[in-house]
């Protein structure tokens, strides 16, 4: 079933088409939710709420962009709304925990993507949200400031700190190499 | 292992990694979404089954036992049941007014309600007569001479005595007491005999009377003794609060061939499966390439979409009644089980199947055109199993009313798989394959059920829900995913006593 047929079916409220759409996009969208959510259960709740919005607002999709991008925006906004509703942005930043919390040992080393996502989730919720929105979802700081009801400068500073923190975590987990300073050129004295 | 990280490419690095990540939601998420969009699923088959069963039971009760009441509290009669196991035989019988001869009289031991006795005529005492017979608790009964009157409250559970001639046998509920007394003019002293007779008293009386032979008149002393006994016991009437109860369902004697029954049954059921990764396999370091999709942390069940389908279990069993409440059974049955799989047709893809054989890991490379995740069109597969089984189990009666017995039952079923069409997952959970040589032929199922049993048309019907669980995985141990079937069914059966 191609995408147009799925959309048409969903417009007609067809359960088969809706299931098809869900099967096709839910793995990726759950991953999106998981990066925002405090737990897997919360991520599934976000996914559920997001897909209900997708199905109920699918008539607003105007074929002007990628369908997946449209779904993704709805899912991201749903995640932010859930976090706002639960006042998760006010959670304290436990830097010590974030630095030392272990990623699940059962994850094989080849699962870099999974490890990176887990490392992102170790960040405090505010940092995590900004990283997700800016670095992964491609929102600008201005858009982020509107979405999260914060100053644009706050978004920038949060992102800078989040980036530094995430880098440390990734290095500590040996997912990335520590950036070595470039060796200085030594000019022999004549 | 390490990524050549460059802070200048930080965003693209994160984005790239995040885009590769996939997670699979549990089945409940979709169900909740569907419920929100389309309302909750209805289960018409279950509703229909419940209505049908209730209707059948109601009709049977209505037309089979129109005049009889159910017990309010069957437990109160358990004592009667137990004490009715032994009876004392007493032999005085009224010949006519004031004239007594002897005939067999059966009295239950221990506390039993005794009928009001009119001494002017025969005194026949029936225990546990049908409750629909009118009973006037304040009945004033007098003898022929008008000098026998009793306005005292009669013990409940008693039935009003009709005048009976000598030798008349009453069999109200299979517990009969006939006590005849020689009335030699002292009936006015005795009054209206009502109350309860105790086992020891009856036994003593029986011994006393029988010692005098079968065709002799009971002597006056004996009669007086009985009368005084009844009066004293009636003051402590144990059944004072059981007025509303009818008689207990007649007991069925269990002996010899009477213990055997033949049962035929059918159980429409729906089959589900759930999948587990084999712990033995995951602990095995040599199984690094095992079909456990190491880059996917979700369990295998998250990658497949099951759809229950209707199956059927039919069979027959011989039942052997061990006690009133317990019976064992065995027989032969056929199971047809199936479940659906939602999948996608795709171009042929390389699919690896790794089996943990005794001599090491055996990797089989196959090609599959069935995908679990995506494809150019959807398709519905069906895994089917035809099995024959020998169930061995028991039924235990847990409650009963006048016309309906309630049982719980459990059985182990030794199963042989006659034929199957069975899809298994590839190593990476992406494809479905068939590998018949690893299908398990012999298996063990367990079944638990609860059912109501009632008689209609000369046979015993039974109906109730059943859950069946397949203990061993559908594939042999070499396959590292354990897939178990579980069936939810509604069993309907008939039981016929063997002559």
Q: Is the pLDDT of residue B266 over 70?
A: yes
Q: Which residue of A has its CA nearest to B376?
A: A1
What interhelical angle do A40-56 and B27-38 show, nearest 10?
30
Q: Which residue, among A90, A88, A89, A83, has the nearest Cα to A46 in the 3D structure?
A: A83
**Contact between chains at A1 and B24 (C-beta distance less than 8 A):** no
Collect all residues of chain A within an 8 Å Cβ-Cβ radius of residue B28.
Answer: 44
Q: Distance between CA atoms of B349 and B363, rounded to whole angstroms?
A: 16
CB contact under 8 A, A177 and B3: yes
CA of A77, closest CA in chain B: separation in Å? 18
Interface with chain A: mutation pick from B14, B31, B297, highest number of A CBs within 10 Å: B14
Whether A114 sits inside 8 A of B21 (CB atoms) is yes
Q: Which residue of chain B is at minimal alpha-carbon distance from A159?
A: B11
Dump pLDDT digits (tens) for A138-175: 899 999 998 888 889 999 998 999 988 888 888 887 77
Share of chain B above pLDDT 90, in %: 18
**CB atoms A135 and B297 under 8 Å:** no
Tell whether B5 lies on the interface with A, counting CB pairs under 8 A: yes
Q: What is the pLDDT of residues B442-487, one digit of tens each?
A: 999 999 999 999 988 778 999 999 999 998 888 888 887 888 889 9
Find the range with the poorest average confidence among B60-64, B269-273, B491-495. B60-64
Distances (CA, A) of A59 to A11, A14, A70: 6, 13, 12
Please enumerate in sequence order all residues whose Cβ is within 8 A of that of B147, keeping only pairs 6 or more positions apart, or say none. B187, B188
Select the residue of A31, A106, A175 nearest B22 (Cβ to Cβ): A31
| Beta bridge mates, B214 | none
Which chain B residues contact residue A24 at CB under 8 A? 374
| Mean pLDDT of all residues in B331-342 | 92
B17–A116 CB contact, under 8 Å:
yes
The number of angstroms, rounded, from the C-alpha of A68 to the middle of its chain's C-alpha atoms is 15
Averaged over A13-42, what is the pLDDT? 89
Tokens representing A146 are 């509107």
Q: How far apart are CA B189 and CA B205, in angstroms?
A: 20
Share of chain B above pLDDT 70, in %: 49
Distance CA B440, CA B189 (A): 83
Alpha carbon of residue B71 to chain centroid: 19
Query: How many whole angstroms separate alpha carbon B309 and alpha carbon B340?
Result: 6
Q: What is the DSSP letter of A173?
A: T
Res B315: pLDDT? 94
Helix (H, G, I), strand (E, B) or coil at A65: coil
B119-159 confidence digits (pLDDT tens): 444 434 444 444 444 444 444 444 444 444 444 444 444 44
* pTM tops 0.80, yes or no: no
Per the prediction, chain B carries an average pLDDT of 67
Instruction: Give this complex's ipTM.
Output: 0.78
Greater model confidence, B312 or B257 = B312
Sequence-ordered list of residues with C-beta below 8 angstroms from that of B433, at least 6 positions apart, any chain:
B351, B353, B366, B368, B370, B423, B424, B425, B426
A40: nearest CA partner in chain B: B25
Q: What is the pLDDT of residues B10-31, one digit of tens each?
A: 788 888 888 888 888 887 888 8
> Residue B33 is nearest to which of A22, A40, A134, comparing CB atoms?
A22
Q: Which site among B10, B16, B17 would you substitute to test the A interface, given the most A Cβ atoms closer than 10 Å to its Cβ? A: B17
Q: Answer yes or no: are the C-beta atoms of B361 and B289 closer than 8 Å.
A: yes
Task: For residues A123 and B186, give the distance between their C-alpha atoms in angstroms, rounded to a whole number.
Answer: 103
Residue from the list A13, A52, A113 with its beta carbon closest to the beta carbon of B21: A113
Instruction: Determine which of B7, B9, B18, B430 to mutate to test the interface with A (most A C-beta atoms within 10 Å).
Output: B18
CA pair distance B175, B134, nearest whole angstrom: 19
Quote the minimal CA–CA distance from A41 to chain B in Å: 9
CA dihedral for B202, B207, B209, B214, sign (positive or negative) = positive
Q: How far is A92 from chain B (nearest CA, A)?
A: 24
Q: What is the DSSP string of A94-130?
A: -HHHHHHPPPPTTS-TT-HHHHHHHHHHHS-HHHHHH
Helix axes A15-36, A3-11, angle to 10 degrees: 100
Q: If you measure CA to CA, which chain B residue comes closest to A72?
A: B19
Instruction: Name, in order, each residue with C-beta under 8 angstroms of B248's C-beta and a sequence gap of 6 or more.
Output: B71, B74, B77, B80, B81, B128, B173, B174, B175
Q: Tokens at residue B109, please?
A: 């031991």
């Amino acid at each position: 079933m191609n995408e147009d047929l799925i959309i048409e079916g969903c417009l007609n409220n067809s359960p088969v088409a809706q299931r098809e759409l869900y099967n096709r996009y839910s793995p990726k969208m759950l991953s999106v939710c998981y990066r925002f959510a405090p737990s897997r259960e919360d991520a599934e709740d976000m996914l559920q709420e997001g897909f209900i919005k997708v199905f109920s607002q699918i008539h607003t999709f105007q074929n002007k962009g990628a369908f997946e991008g449209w779904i993704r925006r709805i899912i991201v906004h749903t995640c932010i709304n859930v976090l706002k509703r639960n006042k998760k942005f006010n959670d304290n930043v436990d830097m010590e925990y974030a630095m030392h919390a272990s990623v699940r040992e059962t994850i094989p080393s080849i699962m870099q993507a999974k490890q990176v996502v887990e490392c992102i989730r170790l960040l405090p919720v505010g940092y995590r949200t900004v990283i997700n929105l800016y670095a992964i979802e491609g929102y600008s700081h201005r858009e982020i400031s509107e979405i999260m009801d914060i100053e644009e400068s706050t978004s920038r500073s949060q992102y800078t700190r989040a980036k530094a923190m995430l880098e440390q975590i990734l290095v500590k987990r040996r997912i990335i190499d520590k950036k070595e300073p470039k060796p200085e050129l030594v000019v022999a004295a004549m | 292992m390490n990524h050549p990280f460059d802070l200048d490419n930080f965003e693209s690095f994160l984005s790239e990694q995040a885009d590769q990540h996939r997670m699979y939601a549990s089945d409940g998420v979709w169900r909740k979404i569907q419920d929100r969009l389309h309302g909750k699923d209805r289960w018409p088959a279950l509703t229909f089954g419940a209505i049908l069963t209730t209707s059948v039971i109601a009709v049977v009760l209505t037309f089979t036992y129109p005049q009889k009441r159910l017990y309010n509290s069957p437990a109160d009669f358990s004592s009667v049941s137990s004490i009715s196991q032994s009876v004392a035989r007493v032999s005085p019988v009224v010949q006519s007014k004031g004239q007594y001869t002897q005939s067999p009289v059966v009295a239950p031991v221990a506390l039993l309600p005794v009928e009001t006795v009119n001494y002017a005529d025969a005194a026949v005492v029936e225990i546990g007569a049908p409750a629909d017979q009118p009973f006037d608790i304040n009945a004033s009964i007098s003898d022929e001479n008008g000098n026998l009157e009793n306005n005292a409250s009669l013990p409940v559970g008693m039935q009003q005595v009709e005048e009976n001639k000598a030798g008349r046998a009453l069999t109200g509920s299979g517990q009969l007491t006939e006590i005849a007394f020689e009335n030699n003019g002292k009936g006015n002293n005795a009054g209206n005999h009502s109350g309860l007779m105790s086992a020891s008293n009856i036994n003593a009386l029986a011994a006393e009377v029988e010692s005098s032979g079968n065709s002799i008149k009971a002597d006056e002393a004996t009669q007086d003794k009985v009368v005084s006994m009844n009066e004293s016991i009636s003051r402590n009437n144990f059944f004072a609060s059981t007025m509303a109860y009818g008689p207990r369902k007649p007991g069925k004697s269990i002996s010899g061939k009477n213990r055997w029954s033949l049962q035929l049954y059918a159980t429409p059921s729906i089959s589900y499966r759930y999948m587990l990764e084999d712990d033995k396999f995951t602990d095995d370091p040599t199984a690094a390439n095992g079909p456990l999709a190491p880059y996917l942390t979700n369990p295998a069940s998250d990658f497949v979409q099951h759809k229950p389908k209707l199956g059927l279990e039919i069979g027959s069993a011989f039942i052997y009644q061990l006690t009133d409440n317990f019976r064992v059974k065995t027989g032969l049955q056929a199971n047809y089980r199936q479940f659906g799989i939602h999948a996608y047709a795709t171009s042929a893809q390389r699919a690896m199947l790794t089996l943990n054989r005794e001599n090491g890991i055996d990797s089989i490379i196959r090609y599959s055109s069935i995908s679990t995740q995506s494809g150019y069109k959807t398709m519905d597969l069906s895994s089917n199993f035809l099995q024959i089984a020998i169930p061995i189990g028991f039924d235990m009666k847990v409650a009963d009313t006048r016309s309906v017995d309630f049982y719980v039952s459990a059985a182990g079923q030794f199963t042989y798989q006659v034929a199957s069409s069975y899809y298994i997952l590839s190593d990476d959970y992406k494809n479905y394959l068939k590998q018949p040589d690893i299908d398990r032929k012999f298996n063990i199922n367990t079944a638990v059920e609860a059912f109501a049993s009632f008689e209609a048309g000369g046979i015993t019907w039974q109906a109730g829900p059943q859950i069946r669980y397949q203990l061993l995985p559908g594939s042999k141990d070499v396959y590292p995913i354990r897939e178990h079937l579980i069936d939810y069914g509604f069993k309907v059966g008939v039981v016929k006593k063997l002559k």
